[in-house]
Every structure is written in structure tokens, then in C-alpha cells.
């Protein structure tokens, strides 16, 4: 009996010690993770890094699938990691040589904005923008079908949403569907009712981006991520603002 009590006491001491270690280590780990998530030192302003690009930051405006300015977008600007911005500059140079300019809809997206999307999706009564961005879908299926998620690759800082602007015609190339449209129409390999010109335009954008180190997404023709992204496991959460990346 005494031996049993001693063994139990020893086991309890070990469990207590392990719990104590976990309790003491968790705040430090969380603190380091939070510090990394708010460190914008490896990010740059796209207007400076890619001066030929046109900026139309949809989440700073109210013309997006939510219908409001999105949390975390403090200025109508775009940010990317230095590595992604350098690759995008090369893509921009290629586009210019072909008579186009890149038009940016979104780039780095703070986790705060992603949470804004989640909260909007949970409010199934708010369907103000349904006819423009998800006319074929009931809002209740957006989570299940992967259109809204609790994390986004954009928050890792090396993903960009964009299209091509035709300089000779003074307008965007016709891609056969709008940015952020929730549906099969947005799939890069969708043909359906697209014209040959629209399919070709999607391929022009895809070729420019892939040849400059970006990977496409199979559900969104406008979405590209740097193949060798520098922060594959970090989801940043600092504001989209020029002040976030201002040199000290």
C-alpha cells in the first residue's frame, strides 16, 4: 500500500512538473508568434516596388463581396514581402513589354481582415452583394465550398490578386468574369460559355505570372502565390497601410 502511495505521488509530481513547463512555455511561445505576426520589416509598398502597376484595392472600398470596407485596410495600398514584390516587378516588366500593365486588387491581407470575412459569412441575412459576387450560391454554403476560411494564404504576404490592363484600349482585358466571383466561372480552366478571346486573356495573365515564379490557384484566375514564399507558416496581422512599412 505504501509503495502504491509513493508511486502515485511520484507520478503526480511528474505530471505537475510537465504541466508547469507547459504553462511557463506557452506564453513565451505565443509572445514570439504574435511578435512575428506583426513584424512588417520584410514587406514593401507595391506602389514603390512595382511602380507600373495600377492599384484598385477592393477591400479598402465598398465594392467587394461584403459591401463594406474590410477591417485592417487603413489605406488604399498594397503590400507584399520583398521577395514576392521583386518577382512581381519582373512580371510587371514582362506585361509592359507586351502592352499591358498589372492591375492589383489585393495583396497582403491581415488576419484581422480574414476574421472580418468569417464574421460576415456567419451572418447569413446579409446578402447585399449577392447579385454581383455569388448569385448562383446560397450564402450558407460559402464555408463548406471553401470560399471563406479562417486563414488565407494572402496573410503570409506573398500572394497577389490581379488582372491585366490593356494600354492600347485603355481598359482591363476581358477575363469573362469578375474578381472575387464565387463560382465555377472563376476557375482558370473553365471554358463553359467563355469566348476564345477570354480564354486567351486568362492564359496571357497566367503565363506572365508563372514564368516569373508564381503558382496559380485552380479556383481563381486572378490569384497567384510566389512559389518560394519566404513565410509559408506565418500569418501576419498588421494593417494595410504605408506606415506599416515606413523606414525608421
Residues with catalytic annotation?
A: 220
Cβ within 8 Å of residue 47, ≥6 positions away = 53, 55, 77, 78
3-state DSSP of 180-192: CCCCHHHCCCCCC
Measure the CA–CA gap between 129 and 149, rounded to whole angstroms: 19
For residue 16, what is its C-alpha cell? 505537475
Residue matched to cell numbers 488604399 = 76
Instruction: Give the residue from 97, 113, 98, 233 showing the smallest Cα distance to 161.
Output: 113
Name the DSSP class of 73: B
Amino acid at each position: 500500500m505504501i509503495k502504491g502511495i509513493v508511486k502515485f505521488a511520484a507520478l503526480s509530481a511528474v505530471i505537475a512538473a510537465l504541466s508547469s513547463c507547459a504553462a511557463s512555455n506557452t506564453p513565451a511561445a505565443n509572445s514570439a508568434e504574435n511578435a512575428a505576426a506583426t513584424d512588417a520589416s520584410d514587406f514593401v509598398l507595391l506602389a514603390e516596388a512595382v511602380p507600373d502597376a495600377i492599384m484598385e484595392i477592393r477591400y479598402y472600398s465598398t465594392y467587394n463581396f461584403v459591401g463594406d470596407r474590410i477591417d485592417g485596410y487603413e489605406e488604399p495600398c498594397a503590400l507584399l514581402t520583398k521577395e514576392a514584390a521583386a518577382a512581381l516587378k519582373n512580371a510587371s516588366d514582362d506585361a509592359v513589354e507586351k502592352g499591358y500593365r498589372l492591375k492589383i486588387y489585393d495583396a497582403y491581407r491581415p488576419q484581422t481582415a480574414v476574421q472580418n470575412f468569417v464574421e460576415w459569412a456567419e451572418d447569413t441575412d446579409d446578402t447585399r452583394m449577392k447579385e454581383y459576387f455569388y448569385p448562383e450560391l446560397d450564402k450558407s454554403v460559402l464555408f463548406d465550398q471553401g470560399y471563406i476560411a479562417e486563414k488565407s494564404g494572402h496573410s503570409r504576404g506573398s500572394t497577389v490578386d490581379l488582372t491585366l490592363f490593356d494600354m492600347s484600349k485603355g481598359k482591363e482585358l476581358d477575363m469573362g468574369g469578375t474578381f472575387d466571383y464565387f463560382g465555377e466561372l472563376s476557375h482558370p480552366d473553365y471554358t463553359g460559355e467563355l469566348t476564345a478571346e477570354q480564354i486567351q486573356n486568362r492564359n496571357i495573365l497566367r503565363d506572365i505570372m508563372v514564368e516569373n515564379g508564381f503558382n496559380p490557384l485552380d479556383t481563381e484566375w486572378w490569384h497567384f502565390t510566389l512559389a518560394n514564399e519566404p513565410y509559408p507558416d506565418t500569418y501576419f496581422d498588421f494593417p494595410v497601410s504605408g506606415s506599416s512599412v515606413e523606414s525608421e
